[in-house]
């Protein structure tokens, strides 16, 4: 609880209560049986991206920047290691960085209410600037130019 605000615990795993904005739904997972290509080159993108969703409120983990799934990393005969999801903290400017191109990085994150675009840019701007792909509702996607 922060400053008189009651924070409901949102669910993230299949079978958990959703809890987003008072939602009483149960989180489920989309099937991977259709369009799975693990038989050709495992693991496929269909099996490594977030599949959780709530039918009651329409929440999809894949589109939620708070849930950051970085997928699996495979190196030839070495077993695959799945990186764990990191839940971002919306009480501060919090973000993850991933590769975008050879000269830029994709910064996806969250920010608390009242935060300005300039405050976010001050934290995530690349060496040669950057641009927002998305900014609003407490979430952002920023392309930082690094080279």
pLDDT of 68 strictly over 50: no
Three-state secondary-structure class, residue 5: strand
Q: Return the residue matching tokens 């991933």.
A: 98
**Is-cis flag, bond preceding 93, omega within 30?**
no
pLDDT in tens, 113-125: 999 999 999 999 8
Three-state secondary-structure class, residue 116: coil
Give the predicted TM-score (pTM) of the model.
Answer: 0.48
pLDDT of 110 strictly over 90: yes
């Amino acid at each position: 609880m922060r400053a008189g605000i009651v924070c409901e615990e949102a669910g993230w795993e299949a079978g958990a209560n959703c809890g987003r904005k008072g939602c009483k739904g149960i989180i489920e997972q989309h099937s991977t049986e259709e369009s799975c290509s693990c038989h050709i080159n495992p693991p496929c993108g269909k099996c490594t991206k977030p599949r959780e969703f709530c039918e009651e409120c329409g929440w999809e983990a894949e589109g939620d920047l708070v849930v950051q799934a970085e997928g699996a990393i495979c190196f030839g005969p070495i077993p695959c290691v799945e990186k764990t999801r990191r839940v971002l903290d919306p009480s501060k400017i919090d973000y993850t960085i991933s590769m975008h191109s050879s000269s830029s990085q994709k910064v996806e994150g969250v920010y608390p209410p009242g935060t300005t675009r300039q405050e976010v840019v001050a934290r995530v701007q690349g060496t040669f600037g950057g641009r927002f792909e998305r900014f609003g509702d407490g979430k952002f996607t920023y392309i930082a130019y690094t080279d």
